[in-house]
Amino acid sequence: MIESMRAAFALPDLRRRILFTIGLLIIYRLAANIPVPGVNLEAWTIFTQQASPNAVVGFLDLLSGGAVRNFSVMAMGVYPYITASIIIQLLTPIIPQLQELASEGETGRNKITRFTYYLTVPLALLQAIGQIRLVGFSLGAGGMEFIMPNFGFEAGMILPTMTTLFAMLGGTMFAIWLGELITEDGIGQGISLIIFSGIVAGILPGLAQLFAPDNTTAQTAFLVIAFILITLATLFVIVVVQEGQRRIPVQYGRRVRGRKVYQGQSSYVPLKVNTAGMIPIIFANSIVIFPPLIAGIFVDSSNEFVARAAQTIAGFANQDPGSIGFYLYWLTFFLLVVGFTFFYTDVMIRQQNIPQTLQRQGGFIPGIRPGKRTEVYVMSVVRRITFAGAVFLGTIAILPGLMQLIGYIIGIPGLQNAALVVSGSGLIIVVGVVIDTMRQLESQLLMRQYEGFL
Q: CA Rg, the chain, in Å? A: 25
Query: Nearest 5 degrees, angle CA 344-CA 132-CA 36?
Result: 115
Among positive and negative, which fits the CA dihedral 407, 413, 418, 420? positive
Taking the C-alpha atoms of residue 69 and residue 9, their distance in angstroms, rounded to an integer, is 35
Give domain 1-202's CATH superfamily: SecY subunit domain (1.10.3370.10)
Report pLDDT digits (tens) over 75-107.
887 878 888 887 887 788 788 888 888 777 778
pTM over 0.85: no
Handedness of CA 113, 117, 123, 129 (dihedral sign): positive
Three-class SS of the chain: CHHHHHHHHHCHHHHHHHHHHHHHHHHHHHHCCCECCCCCHHHHHHHHCCCCCCHHHHHHHHHHCCCHHHCECCCCCCHHHHHHHHHHHHHCCCCHHHHHHHCCCHHHHHHHHHHHHHHHHHHHHHHHHHHHHHHHHHCCCCHHHHHCCCCCCCCCCHHHHHHHHHHHHHHHHHHHHHHHHHHHHCCCCHHHHHHHHHHHHCHHHHHHHHCCCCCCHHHHHHHHHHHHHHHHHHHHHHHHHHHCEEEEEEEECCEEECCEEECCCEEEEEEECCCCCCHHHHHHHHHHHHHHHHHHHHCCCCCHHHHHHHHHHHCHHHCCCCCHHHHHHHHHHHHHHHHHHHHHHHHHHHHHCHHHHHHHCCEECCCCCCCHHHHHHHHHHHHHHHHHHHHHHHHHHCHHHHHHHHHHHHCCCCCHHHHHCCCHHHHHHHHHHHHHHHHHHHHHHHHHHHHHHC
Contacts of 329 (CB under 8 A, 6+ apart): 288, 316, 317, 319, 401
* pLDDT value, residue 174: 92
Same fold, 1-202 and 211-421: yes
Predicted local distance difference test score (pLDDT) of residue 424: 66
CA distance 164 to 35: 10
Q: Nearest CA to 203 among 79, 74, 73, 65?
A: 65
User: What residue segments make up the domains of the chain, in order of their start?
Assistant: 1-202, 211-421
pLDDT of the residue at 316 = 63
Name residue 56's amino acid.
V
If one counts every other C-beta atom within 10 angstroms of the C-beta of residue 262, the result is 12
Taking 50 as the pLDDT cut, the residues of the chain under it are: 51-52, 451-454
Q: Which residues pair with 245 in a beta bridge?
A: 272
Task: Please identify, in words, the CATH class of the domain defined by 211-421.
Answer: mainly alpha
Determine the pLDDT at residue 136: 67
User: How far apart are alpha carbons 216 and 400 in whole angstroms?
Assistant: 21
* 271 contact partners, CB below 8 Å, separation of at least 6: 245, 246, 247, 248, 349, 378, 381, 382, 385
